[in-house]
Structure 1
Amino acid sequence: MESPAAADVEKSGGDYAHLTNTSIRSFGWEGITVTVKDRQTKQPKDILSGINGMVKAGELLALMGPSGSGKTTLLDVLAHREATPSASVQQSLYLNGSKTSLREFRKISSYVEQEDALIGSLTVKETLYFAARLSLPSFIGKLERIARIDALIAAFGLQGQASTLIGTPIRKGLSGGQKRRVSVASQLITSPKILFLDEPTSGLDSAASFEVISFVKNIAKMHNLLVIASIHQPSTITFKLFDRLLLLSRGKTAYNGPISGVKEYFDQMGYKMPVYMNPAEFVIELVNTDFARNQEKAVEQLENIQDSWSKSESASTVIREIEGETSSSTKTTIEDEHGYANKFMLPFTLIHRSFIKSHRDIVAYGIRIAMYMGLAIMMGTVWLRLGTNQENIQSFINAIFFGGAFMSFMAVAYIPAFLEDRQLYIKERANGLYGPTAFMIANFVIGLPYLFIISLLFSVITYWLSNFRPSADGFWIWVMWLFLDLVAAESLVVFLSSLVPVFVIALAATAFANGLWMSVNGFMVAPQTLNVFWRYVFHYIDYQAWVFRGMMVNEFGYRTYECDSMCHCMYVTDLADQCKINGKGVLATYNFNTENTGKYVGYMLVITLGYRLLGWLVIYLRRH
């Protein structure tokens, strides 16, 4: 059975054919064992034990087994990825019978994650364009990149959706099957010879699952790709699209051979497959002990199946195939045709992609701008047209504190957007596309214009409504402090969200941090009277403290206020004989002066850099 969509692959075969050059006959593995420490017994425990196998050019291998059988772990080991944190891994991996390095292997392999690593606000063509920019070396010119993109769009039957958005929660885009095809196509942009698919049909109905695997199968057959896919429980027609099955249960092999031989093999063992039953369902139920009523009997049956396989002629055949390849192997040279992208240009590519995402995706900055505008209107109307008489001095101080503190507090709204970007980075880093430096540079740069726009719009409303110092330089200095405030606050969000990449926890941690900064920034308690611990441990690294100082100096350092009608002045200054208060007298009560503004700006830059470096360190050390 062949779908109309799959037939399109045949028509576009010539378009895709020129994309593959390196010759890989086979990919084999021997004695793969992954050992971890059991959490309860603290004893070594094998989650994979002695797994052998081989897949040849043009074949599709299905990794199947019950949940917890080791499918994803095996797929990660085969793909030269970290299997499990703190695990001990024994492995022998061969290309054309000879061992190869990680760097060489990445040149000819690609890995498609279980969840689509796609940006919803990009079109199909843009998605493939940026995949090409991030993964293809610079010596591959623009025309060839376009040719590869067009060939893949045609090969996967996506011509009609080339200009369609992938789709976001508030903007409808592609169907689930189409998204999965785009995910696979984006990994084929480098013309790999080995393709790893982690649950490619997860979340898809049987028709969409068949559609996705059909496209992959046709591409594999025509261009000699080796495809290894972990798959949970495919339909009968999807299962038959695969050439080979490696069945796992509790970390051991239960079957490893042709799909066509599954029924005969288990029939000979005495496990008759019902005529109209899905073979995939049958074998999974056969080796699944999780839901058995009689656990002892189920475990005994599984051990019998695993023991029978290890002693079978089929198992010996697999080992002979591997040994045959290794004994006749010659060193496989991986050409540099797939190479690596220009590292210098990677941040610019990421910035370009993020710019498109940010101005199309209203969630990233549109909603945040609306939130800040609401806060600005509220603040401007609460502190509406404050006069310059002395009873309003405290109101001005309160407004300065509120404006700086709550602007930074509302930076928590950036957490969801950053976590989404981080998740994409994790997947692309695992595929070797770029590292934490390029990601952090792009993340920082793309936010600057939006944060400046937010600061400017907020100030246009608030500054004049509240009647702060009425001068152009006063206004722009206020904008500068708000901008530095937001940049530092967003840097704090990046650090904490990298450290605890769970929305609720990151939200709580950021809110707590901002609450701490509000408490010690010098408004609640003047810096010179602040408890020694809080002052020297937290006050001087509090970015809100320097924003508060800067804004106070901007307002009170260059303005005078009227005493009451009886010429009683709340603050006694050199202008008392004129029934006025020099604003510098207000600053003196906080021990602020007008001569250190440049230092305050420098401290803000250092604090922001510190958060960014900490964020970089966290994502450098954490790969998940």
Structure 2
Amino acid sequence: MPAHLHAHPPGSTSLAANHEAESPSDSVSSPRVFLSHDDEDAIAEIRRTLTEISHHNSKQGYPEPHSSFDKFLEAELQAGRKKSNLGVCFQSLSTWGDGEEHTDVKTLGTALWRTLTFQDVYEWTIQPWLSRKEPQSGRPLIRDFSGAVRTGCSTFLRTIAGHHSSFLGVTGSLDYSGLSLEEVKKHYRGQVAYVPEDDVHFPTLTVQQTLEFALQSKTPQRYQDRIPRYLEIYGRVFGMSHTMNTLVGNEYIRGVSGGERKRISIIESLATDSSVSCWDNSTRGLDASSALDYARSLRIMTDTCGKATLMTLYQASDAIYDLVDKVLLIDEGRMLYQGPAREAKRYFEDLGYECAEMQTISDFLTSITVPERRRFRPGWEHRAPKGPIELEEAFRKSSAYQKVQYDVQHYEDQRLGGKSVRCSQIDSDDGSLEDFKKAIQTDKSRFVSPKSPYTISVFRQVVLCAKRQLWQIRGHMSPLYIKIISSVVYGLLVGSMFYNQPQTTAGMYSRGGVIFYSSILLAWLQMSELEEAMQGRDILSRQKKFAFVRPSAVCLARVITDFLIAAVITFLYLIVVYFLSGLKSDVG
């Protein structure tokens, strides 16, 4: 394996040349390396080259491979790919949950009773109209949030991303550059993405197949040649190049590690190419270096492609913290601070809090919400605001809150020109709403409706899902082998039970038994598909929200592939049973 060369700073020496006489102790304790003048010149040239490379990379702003990622995105834009900019503005935003502290777990008996008495149907259809709950009657999860994003934490991200189904209600204003939440859900679903912290993938797919499916579902046919380049870039940036042909795996199937599975989730989410991305604790399970690579990648995509990025991070290093523009501190659903990240530390120090030595800024901000960890400046122990209520009141009286209100008003004036949200078509630095719609339509296939949230046609979705289904079967062939062997064994058993039945009326009932047992056994062999179908529901739900493929396309693709496999299994079974049971072997 070749050795790595490292550039040394001026004044340091890695190899020493000494032409003086050696002492006996020197010859024993420390070996000497004698170099000629040519060797010294070669070493000096290597140092100059490495210094120039290091200086060149520092001028680019990002080390390799992130600088290549930045150049690649810029080349994509220069090649004619349009930006799909979409900002977020929220004002007086509150989310309300059910006030009940517990939920009853359904048993088999209660499930049957609710089904037979049509209680589920009643709760889904009639009850919402007869007894509507006011959102304010529930428990507040986040309270009166305001802010603008141009370029409980999970609750806030899900509220911004429009995932409101689990909430009792959401009040306030939520605007996406002139688009309402209903318009985004219906026509631009994939442009606002919520990325949860759970890593759920098909375990029998390789890393490359998982990422290739995500990229192909968001890339029209005319741009398919770019997918290998995207895979290469993403693999280099996140250190996944060596695992591309490895199964994703799970607790039963051996595959990649938990940290590598987290990177797969990140790359898959980046493939959505969403304009607004909400990342929920996506650094969980990553080491410090990988977490920094992830943050740099988001910073590059935000700057180069004009994205709006919101993310929750726990125990973020100062290197990651320096990459963000704004920080929002939440405790018990209350907004304790929102503003520039570089001003957050000074703001809380002015309130009387103290940041310990060698403590990261993110850890300092988190400690403010924990009574056992927060520290006060001398003399401020009784004057500093404490608890979420006092800190929220202090923030709303501060100049930082006035700056937030100014940013919201400036955002609306810039986007709306002082008019209503729904009627704005005014250009801004980020482009108009019409430019956004044109950019989205440009990235779609020719056979996709302009109002559809999907990128590729239904036919291509079915083909892509069928190919993924075949990939899954090939990645774990044991169930298929078991089915084939079982069909042959069942054929031998049934054929031996009704071996060589007479061709007269005496064998009529026996032949009916052959047909009956064959139907039951062949249907029983397909029961094993139910578990696999149920396990993929979470993945299907997430990919529907990402606007990868339609659920109907996935179901149709499964029917096609299952039919082909069932045809092979049925053929092998019937060949054995037909001739052993003495069924008619000619056309006469």
Indicate the SS of the match to 1:452: helix
44, 56, 65: which one pairs with 2:138?
Answer: 44
Report the alpha carbon displacement of residue 358 of structure 1 after superposing the two structures with TM: 1.9
Q: Is 1:220–2:302 an aligned residue pair? A: yes
The residue correspondences of 1:564-603 to structure 2 (distance < 5 A) are none
Contact 2:158 2:194 in 1 (8 A): no
Residues 180, 212 of structure 1: alpha-carbon distance in 2 compared, 3 angstrom cutoff: farther
- In the aligned structure 2, how far is the partner of 1:371 from the partner of 1:456? 13
Question: Equivalent residue for 2:449?
Answer: none
Question: Equivalent residue for 1:451?
Answer: 566
Residues 384, 210 of structure 1: alpha-carbon distance in 2 compared, 3 angstrom cutoff: farther
Q: Is 1:210–2:292 an aligned residue pair? A: yes
Contact 1:152 1:189 in 2 (8 A): no
Question: Equivalent residue for 1:15?
Answer: 72
Deviations 1:317-371 (A, max 9, x none): 1121111121122352312233322233221221122122223223664444455
Question: Equivalent residue for 1:432?
Answer: 547
Indicate the SS of the match to 2:310: strand
- In the aligned structure 2, how far is the partner of 1:245 from the partner of 1:290? 23
Question: Equivalent residue for 1:480?
Answer: none
Question: Equivalent residue for 1:198?
Answer: 280
- In the aligned structure 2, how far is the partner of 1:233 from the partner of 1:395? 72
User: How well do the aligned residues superpose, as a CA RMSD in angstroms?
Assistant: 4.0
- In the aligned structure 2, how far is the partner of 1:426 from the partner of 1:345? 19
Question: Equivalent residue for 1:469?
Answer: 583
Contact 1:220 1:226 in 2 (8 A): yes
Report the alpha carbon displacement of residue 10 of structure 1 after superposing the two structures with TM: 0.8
- In the aligned structure 1, how far is the partner of 2:373 from the partner of 2:526? 47
Normalising by structure 2, we get a TM-score of 0.65
Residues 366, 51 of structure 1: alpha-carbon distance in 2 compared, 3 angstrom cutoff: farther
Gaps of 5+ in 1: 58-68, 293-298, 474-557, 559-624
Q: Counterpart of 2:261 in structure 1: which amino acid?
A: K
- In the aligned structure 2, how far is the partner of 1:414 from the partner of 1:242? 46
Question: Equivalent residue for 2:212?
Answer: 129
Contact 1:379 1:462 in 2 (8 A): yes
The residue correspondences of 1:243-392 to structure 2 (distance < 5 A) are 243-287=325-369, 301-329=387-415, 330-331=426-427, 332-333=432-433, 334=436, 335=439, 336-339=441-444, 340-362=455-477, 365-373=480-488, 375-376=490-491, 383=497, 385=499
Indicate the SS of the match to 2:395: helix
Indicate the SS of the match to 2:337: strand
- In the aligned structure 2, how far is the partner of 1:424 from the partner of 1:386? 50
Normalising by structure 1, we get a TM-score of 0.62
Q: Counterpart of 1:353 in structure 2: which amino acid?
A: R
Gaps of 5+ in 2: 1-56, 103-132, 375-384, 416-425, 445-454
Residues 386, 216 of structure 1: alpha-carbon distance in 2 compared, 3 angstrom cutoff: same
173, 177, 199: which one pairs with 1:116?
Answer: 199
Question: Equivalent residue for 1:76?
Answer: 158
Residues 281, 410 of structure 1: alpha-carbon distance in 2 compared, 3 angstrom cutoff: farther
Question: Equivalent residue for 1:548?
Answer: none
- In the aligned structure 1, how far is the partner of 2:579 from the partner of 2:170? 64
Contact 2:83 2:306 in 1 (8 A): no
Q: Is 1:184–2:266 an aligned residue pair? A: yes
Q: State how many pairs are aligned.
A: 450
Q: Counterpart of 2:100 in structure 1: which amino acid?
A: R
Deviations 1:542-595 (A, max 9, x none): xxxxxxxxxxxxxxxx9xxxxxxxxxxxxxxxxxxxxxxxxxxxxxxxxxxxxx
410, 416, 422: which one pairs with 2:537?
Answer: 422
Identity among equivalent pairs (%): 17
Report the alpha carbon displacement of residue 377 of structure 1 after superposing the two structures with TM: 5.4
Deviations 1:111-131 (A, max 9, x none): 434233543444444334322
Q: Counterpart of 1:313 in structure 2: which amino acid?
A: S
- In the aligned structure 2, how far is the partner of 1:125 from the partner of 1:351? 17
